[in-house]
Amino acid sequence: MRILIAIMTLIVLTGCDRSRELPDCKDVQSPKDYGKFLVNPTTGLAQHVSGTIWYRCMAGQSFRGKKCLGEPLELSLSEAESYLRDFSRKSGEKWRLPTKDEFKEILETTCDSPPLNPNVFPGIAVKNFWLIDRPWLENARFGCSIFLFQGSTSCRQAVQLHQPILMVRD
């Protein structure tokens, strides 16, 4: 009986391993490869083949040359929504948080840490990023985010947590 328990424990523990042996995206992308994006080199905007337009830097940063300059902001979910309203008003264009599906579309499958094309999104941190999606229970205490190591999502993030954001044009 003890052997059976030991074998079952071993199976359960090895079945939970989520690690993948993928290289860092910054190490595998050639410098001018924008993949599935059409990139505007001066405005800091990148249009995915799906049509979604992304700002290439984290909120709080400015795109200059081929870099994102400045300190990225880490905001609670309500602060992120307020920031996006202000950014939209000042830019004259409507900006919002990305959906889980929009984010999943841009994830690279052959690399990670973060799984984004570093030529399109230079210097993006490996952190949780807020999403516009809401938990299925509509619980006001939680929001959804994506973790940019391998691209896993969770809708159990406390809304008062401070996390960075990427923006898409509405």
pLDDT digits (tens, 9 = 90+) for 133-159: 988 766 789 999 999 988 999 999 999
For residues 110, 114, 119, 122, the Cα torsion angle rounded to the nearest 10 degrees is 180
For residues 112, 117, 118, 123, the Cα torsion angle rounded to the nearest 10 degrees is -70
What is this structure's pTM?
0.85
Structure confidence at residue 15 (pLDDT): 47
Boundaries of every domain in the chain: 21-169
Structure confidence at residue 82 (pLDDT): 98
Higher pLDDT, 7 or 119: 119
Q: What is the distance between the alpha carbons of residues 62 and 68, in angstroms, rounded to a whole number? A: 5
Q: How many CB atoms lie within 10 A of CB 114?
A: 24
Q: Where are the beta strands (DSSP E) in 45-151?
A: 45-48, 53-55, 62-64, 67-69, 95-96, 128-130, 142-147
Higher pLDDT, 95 or 9: 95
Structure confidence at residue 156 (pLDDT): 92
CATH 2.170.240 fits 21-169, yes or no: no
Retrieve residue 37's tokens: 């994006």
